[in-house]
Amino acid sequence: MNRPAIVIAGPTASGKSGLALAIARAFNGTVINADSMQVYDVLRVVTARPSQAEEAQAPHRLYGVLSPSVNCSAAAWKDMAAAAMAESWAQGRLPVVVGGTGLYLRTLMHGISPVPAIPDEIRTQARALLAERGNAAFHALLAARDPVMAARLDPANSQRLARAWEVIEASGQSLAAWQALPMEGAVDAHWLTLSLAPPREALYANCDQRFALMMEHGALDEVRALLALGLDPALPAMKALGVPELAALLAGTLEPKQAVSAAQKATRNYAKRQLTWFRHQLEKPEVVSAQLSERIFDEIFAKVRHFLLTRFQ
């Protein structure tokens, strides 16, 4: 438990990556990605991955390491992150885990229910059945087979519906039964958790401005190249923020201004959900509620120094 690690959580466009890099540079750290879209080797601009120049300033891990044809689970990411943290500690470096995917962070710090691995064919069948029947009818099928999970799930949440179905199909037990078991696989570390929660108006403005900049720096070309791969539309990379709207623009079903506006709105809505999740799910974080500035950086660096000095007490 005396091995130190920092987690930087927060909504999209809150400045997490810049803060992680600053901490890594100041405290001999390794930046480890905890964003479920930035693990893929596509969409550097659309997913706001650190630039090559930024990556050169400190070691970065788990950025652009998977093909978009892969469906990366929280458990699979946790295993990669644990290996990256072990490498960092072995090199005498401070792991700085940064991202907005709450499930990834919770799995890393607290473990995950021991749900068995789902065979690819069962996962594919579940999503095909969902696409064929539609959400409402699929939810009814799930309710007949697993009423406990069906009662917990929003019929509009396709991903969670398919997950509940594939688990009972593969294991014969409800996902609820697996979730009731003790968590497993947490990384043993002494954590400092920083949760960024900037004022909403400023955050939403950042979301809008950033997507406009993405359009100027090749976002549409990135989505065009992704679509050319002919991937399953249900894959996570195909649903990254901005991809559905820019795909509609390329298909001619949205005008440019409509696509940008819709993508900005989707980003703001996602940021709102992230703020809510981190407010209720993170355990005893150090909350940074102001916009990042030189003064705020100095305050955060002081917290990090104190954390590193007192972890053995």
Cβ pair 19, 297 in contact under 8 A: yes
Strand partners, 94: 29
Give me the DSSP letters along 126-147: HHHHHHHH-HHHHHHHHHHH-H
The angle subtended at Cα 116 by Cα 182 and Cα 83, nearest 5°, is: 80
Question: How far is C-alpha 246 from the geometric centre of its chain's CA atoms?
Answer: 20
Kindly list the distances between the CA atom of residue 71 and the CA atoms of 89, 232, 249, 252, in Å, as whole numbers in the listed order.
28, 10, 25, 28
The conformation of residue 117, written as its DSSP 8-state character, comes to: P
Would you call 271 exposed, middle or buried from its count of C-beta atoms within 10 A (0-12, 13-18, 19+)? buried
Annotated binding-site residue numbers for substrate: 12-17
What's the rounded Cα separation, in Å, for the pair 245 and 262?
7
- For 40, left (φ over 0), alpha (ψ -120 to 50), or beta? beta
Strand partners, 102: none
Annotated binding-site residue numbers: 10-17
What's the rounded Cα separation, in Å, for the pair 238 and 70?
11
Would the CA dihedral through 151, 155, 159, 161 be positive or negative?
positive
What's the rounded Cα separation, in Å, for the pair 31 and 245?
30
Cβ pair 246, 220 in contact under 8 A: yes
DSSP-derived 3-state class of residue 187: coil
Annotated binding-site residue numbers for ATP: 10-17
